[in-house]
Amino acid sequence: MAVGPQLQHPGAEGMGDAFHPECVWRDVIDLSSRWTGPILHVLRERPLRFFELQTALEGISDKMLSQTLRTLVRDGLVTRTVEPTTPPRVTYELTTLGHSLADSLAPFIAWVRRHATDVLAARRRHDEPQSG
Amino acid sequence: MAVGPQLQHPGAEGMGDAFHPECVWRDVIDLSSRWTGPILHVLRERPLRFFELQTALEGISDKMLSQTLRTLVRDGLVTRTVEPTTPPRVTYELTTLGHSLADSLAPFIAWVRRHATDVLAARRRHDEPQSG
DNA sequence: CAGCATCCAAAAGGATACTG
DNA sequence: CAGTATCCTTTTGGATGCTG
């Protein structure tokens, strides 16, 4: 997704850097990763420990959870806090930046909740044989 | 991303169907596809022809453009109109549903515009060697 | 509990060539 | 112009086994 200036009408010269490959949103926040969105979303409510995230995100593997969390930490969206107990207790929490991102995703999530059935219905309609 | 009811606090029994695999947003609207978001976004301004989309979306291949558009049409988010001229003139346009989706994505896009530098800076800070 | 390493299967997606 | 078909590389991400 473009992160450049607002799109001029396509075809015009004014496209500017709106859609340069480097500006595609994927390079900034990788929503294309299966779990980035869900993790940001569950962390909105409160900080969570590793195993709590794993529970909340039914089906995520260790690998993907820690991998996605590492990216989020690296990008300044989530903090990782270790209490050096035995066993260790590691807590993940949204930063201010992460919160603002998660908030910006809320309308989209609400849209999916509200319109999932519409999309599914359209898909069914499209796929069913055009019999007379 | 969950499309179920609002998340209860994770770990509680009330998780309901919030994160069932079937409810992950990817199954409803595939934002994880590299081009779904960008296409929806450029179509917000006005209907576009195939080659106009290709121009606006610098770098997209024929294959990915037609493939992504087909999915969008199938899901009732975009209409495809063919004028049977020679050569044919095919126009893509957001449906009402598609517009509401694109609108719901706007805050996220605005966030990326505003905070891309923050993320990039955090990433640089994280990656640079922890020298003294 | 909180992970990392390795291996492997599946999906995404670009390049190229061809069609009505 | 507006695609489709095929090939092939890259990326994603699950499974399994091991560690402090």
Q: B79 or B13: which carries more pLDDT confidence?
A: B79
Q: What is the model's pTM?
A: 0.83
B76 Cβ nearer than 7 Å to chain C strand? no
Question: Could you tell me the two tokens for A59?
Answer: 């089906």
Structure tokens at B123: 């990433």
Which residue in chain B is spatially nearest to A33 when comparing CA positions? B32
Question: Per-residue pLDDT tens for A67-104?
Answer: 999 999 999 999 999 999 999 999 999 999 999 999 99
Each residue's pLDDT tens digit, A23-74: 455 665 667 688 898 999 999 999 999 999 999 988 899 999 999 999 999 9
Q: Are B56 and B92 in contact (CB under 8 A)?
A: no
By CB neighbour count within 10 A (0-12 exposed, 13-18 middle, 19+ buried), where does B74 fall? middle
Contact A119 B76 (CB under 8 A): yes
Residue B25 is predicted with a pLDDT of 59
Q: Is B122 on the interface with A (CB under 8 A)?
A: yes
- What order do you get walking across the sheet with B48-49 strand by strand? B48-49, B89-94, B78-83
Local structure of A68: helix, strand or coil = helix
CA torsion, points B18, A55, B37, B120, in degrees to nearest 10?
A: 140
Residues 27-56 of A with CB under 8 A from B: 28-29, 31-34, 37-38, 41-42, 45-46, 48, 52-53, 55-56
> What's residue A116's pLDDT?
85
Give me the DSSP letters along B36-67: HHHHHHHTTTS-EEHHHHHHHTTT--HHHHHH
Q: Using only C-alpha atoms, what is the Rg of chain A?
A: 19
Q: Do residue A1 and residue B107 have CB atoms under 8 angstroms apart?
A: no
More confident of the two residues B121 and A132: B121
Interval B32-47 mean pLDDT: 90
In the predicted structure, residue B28 carries a pLDDT above the cut 70: no
- Interchain proximity A101–B110, CB inside 8 Å: no
- Average pLDDT rounded to a whole number, residues B23-44: 77
